[in-house]
């Protein structure tokens, strides 16, 4: 074999290696694209299913299904949750200040069916907020928080907290928790 044949053979081998690598990369890219499309389809299906549940829930409600007192110092959160609850047929009374919320509840406790409150609000500690509300009237109370799970076990055991929603959560989880607690028999009801 002469030098020219050896160089030609090396070049052919090199081109074959490049071609094989190109095909592998192309196949990998196609798999990545396929996987991404499947993941996107999955997420879109989940979003659509959640939206369908939410739409059917909100379309089924033609009258007030209850009054929610909503307390959170974050105005964006209260705005979004109020829109969600109102669209679902609830009347929502919003507060960003805990003292104002407690004062309102003192005057209108017979009109409020459930309370959703953040746990950490400037001006009042979480346990104090709960005690203030529960001291006026024992209505279902949901903590809506970014704190850890362990923080509320004591309050749950003492019956001060009826439910906990962890931020962030989906809109349907908020509605489901409110409906779940409103459908529970009252603690004052004897069977």
Residues 6+ apart with CB under 8 A from 93: 67, 68, 69, 70, 104, 108, 112
Domain boundaries, the chain: 1-60, 63-183
Are 143 and 167 in contact by the 8 Å Cβ rule? The answer is no
Overall pTM > 0.85: no
Mean pLDDT of 110-115: 94
pLDDT, tens digit (0-9, with 9 covering 90-100), for 140-176? 999 888 776 555 555 554 567 888 888 888 878 888 8
What are the phi and psi torsion angles at 79 (to 5°)? Answer: -60, -50
Write the CATH number of the domain with boundaries 63-183: 3.40.50.2300
């Amino acid at each position: 074999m002469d030098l020219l044949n050896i160089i030609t053979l090396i070049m052919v081998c090199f081109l074959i290696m490049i071609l094989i690598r190109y095909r592998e990369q192309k196949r990998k890219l196609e798999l990545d694209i396929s996987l991404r499309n499947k993941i996107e389809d999955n997420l879109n299906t989940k979003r659509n299913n959640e939206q369908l549940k939410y739409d059917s829930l909100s379309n089924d409600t033609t009258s007030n299904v209850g009054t929610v007192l909503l307390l959170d110092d974050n105005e964006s959160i209260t705005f979004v949750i109020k829109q969600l609850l109102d669209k679902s047929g609830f009347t929502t009374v919003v507060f960003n200040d805990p003292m104002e919320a407690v004062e309102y509840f003192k005057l209108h406790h017979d009109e409020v069916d459930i309370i959703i409150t953040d746990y950490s609000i400037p001006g009042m500690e979480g346990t104090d907020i709960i005690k203030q509300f529960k001291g006026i009237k024992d209505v279902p109370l949901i903590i809506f928080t970014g704190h850890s799970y362990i923080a509320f076990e004591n309050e749950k055991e003492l019956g001060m907290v009826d439910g906990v929603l962890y931020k962030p959560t989906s809109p349907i989880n908020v509605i489901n928790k409110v409906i779940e607690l409103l459908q529970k028999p009252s603690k004052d009801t004897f069977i």
